[in-house]
Amino acid sequence: MMESPIIRTNNLNLYYGKFQALIDVNMAIRSHRITSIIGPSGCGKSTLLRAFNRMNDLVEGVKVTGDVIVKGENIYSSTVDLLGLRKTVGMVFQRPNPFPLSVYENVIFGLKINPSESKNRSRLQQAAEESLRAVLLWDILKDKLDTTATMLSLEEQQRLCIARVLAVKSEVLLMDEPCSALDPIATAKIEELMKELKNEYTVIVVTHNMQQAARVSDDTGYMMLGKLIEFGTTKDIFTAPHEKHTEDYITGRFG
């Protein structure tokens, strides 16, 4: 029996004022896999990603119809706990965005918002070490936890931002072009990290880089003009797509 998807959308539509950015999107994202969302600029990739933890709510005039089911709960219900949702479904942005604080304070920042967590010093130290180990930074930074995070390399900053999400026990990592600010060597290291992380987490990545999607993802969705044109295993999408639009994009005839 196939496991229920960790995230499912049913006829998801999203409007910015009168502009419809997402049109009847239906997809099911499985746990402990890397799912890539690809497509030309302006097709709705990032909007879809942000719909998974309601980050679009921060934009004035947004309206959503349809359902986004995360772990069995419709996150657009009026009773949903937004703080809890954003702990479960964390976001990593295009450019690393560490706070101008120490490495240690960056990692535990989300935990310190919770009064019960903020007073438990040993718990904070344990979370910092576990999260930095998960992103393969502990051995590099364990003696530099007081270093200001903005002094790290861009790759280390991006790893630190991922650790900050992991510290609050997120189960899903949303990554919006996580390598766009990195050079090829740093990109390769982040891609390897993503493959490691899927053993414990579900990773959803928006990327303009089709080669990256082919390298790292298990499943891929192709979007165009707000519609999810095709969704399936990455192997099928890249070698035997069902839709001509998908084939044209993959082969470079469009986009």
Three-state DSSP state, 193: helix
Note down the domain range covering 78.
7-250
**Quick check: is 212 in a domain?**
yes
Confidence of residue 255 (pLDDT cuts 50, 70, 90): low
Give yes or no for a contact between 238 and 250, defined as CB atoms under 8 angstroms apart.
yes
pLDDT at 116: 61
Q: What is the pTM of this model?
A: 0.92
**Quick check: is 192 in a domain?**
yes
**What is the overall mean pLDDT for the chain?**
93
Confidence of residue 219 (pLDDT cuts 50, 70, 90): very high
pLDDT in tens, 101-141: 999 999 999 888 765 666 678 889 999 999 999 999 999 99
- State the total domains in the chain: 1
pLDDT at 111: 87
Token pair in block for residue 14 = 């999203």
**Quick check: is 2 in a domain?**
no
pLDDT in tens, 163-200: 999 999 999 999 999 998 888 999 999 999 999 999 99
**Quick check: is 255 in a domain?**
no
Please tell me what DSSP assigns to residue 32. T
pLDDT at 117: 62
pLDDT at 205: 97
CATH number at residue 91: 3.40.50.300
Token pair in block for residue 1 = 């029996």
Residue 172, C-beta contacts closer than 8 angstroms, at least 6 positions apart: 6, 7, 52, 53, 70, 88, 89, 90, 201, 202, 203, 204
pLDDT at 1: 46
pLDDT at 66: 97
**Quick check: is 1 in a domain?**
no
**Quick check: is 143 in a domain?**
yes
